[in-house]
Structures are given as C-alpha cells and as structure tokens.
Amino acid sequence: MEDCLFCKIVKGEIPSNKVYEDDEILAFKDINPKAPVHILIIPKKHISSANEIEEIDEALIGRMFTVIKKIAKDMDLKNGYRIINNCGEDGGQEVKHLHFHLLGGKKLGISMC
C-alpha cells in the first residue's frame, strides 16, 4: 500500500524504533507512548484492520501473539500487560494497517492507558 504509514515503516521509508523483526512481523515503539512500555506489533503484509483478516492469515496472526509474549518478557513486564486492537471507525483506529498495542510498565487504568 503506497500511502500506508506502517507499510512505509516496514520498507524503512519512515524511521522507527524497532524492538523485534522477522520475515513477517515487525514491532516498534509507539511515537506517542501511553504507558512506560508502548509497542506496536504489525504484520509486514498490509492487512487494513482486524476485520480484513482472512483464513490464510490465521498462522501469522497466531504467531503475532507469541511475538508479543516474547517482547513482554524482553521488556520485563512480569506483572502483566495489556494488548489492544482498535478496529475501524467506531473502534478508534487511526492507522489503517493492522496493529496490536502492547502496553505495560505500570498499573493500567480502565481506559486504554
């Protein structure tokens, strides 16, 4: 996707603070952190939102959660953390490339942070 911000980050056209990368998945620090640890985990493949996940993506999406677990361990989030996905207009999704927020490093409130 030519005009997708996160595809540009995948291609290295926009810099990011990477914390994890493999062939299919990239994780980087959120530019506007809402908690001491705020990481975005994305598939390198462009999937617009959780609502556009297809059956063929099931293994990839599953693996994103083992990556999240690994990052949480690396970031020393022993006490727990929160995983958030905003989907579509009413879900408050701003960037139209599937991403999971990993938030932690403090006792989180009822809202997103």
Active site residues: 99
CB burial of residue 76 (10 Å; 0-12, 13-18, 19+): exposed
Which range binds ligand 5GP by CB under 6 A, 19-27, 54-62, 67-75, 91-99? 91-99
Q: Are 94 and 80 in contact (CB under 8 A)?
A: no
Between the CA atoms of 89, 91, 95 and 99, what dihedral angle is there, to the nearest 10 degrees? -150
Residue 49 near which of ligand 5GP, Zn ion, none (CB within 5-8 Å, type-dependent): none
d(CA 16, CA 67): 18
Amino acid identity, position 4: C
Task: Determine if 86 is a binding residue for ligand 5GP (CB under 6 A).
Answer: yes
**Which residue in the set 1, 11, 31, 58 belongs to the binding site for ligand 5GP (CB under 6 A)?**
31
Q: How far is the CB of 71 from ligand 5GP (least distance, A)?
A: 14
**Which residue in the set 58, 59, 92, 106 belongs to the binding site for ligand 5GP (CB under 6 A)?**
92
Amino acid identity, position 6: F
Q: How far is the CB of 54 from ligand 5GP (least distance, A)?
A: 20
Q: Binding residues for ligand 5GP, per CB under 6 A?
A: 5, 14, 16, 28-32, 40, 86, 92-95
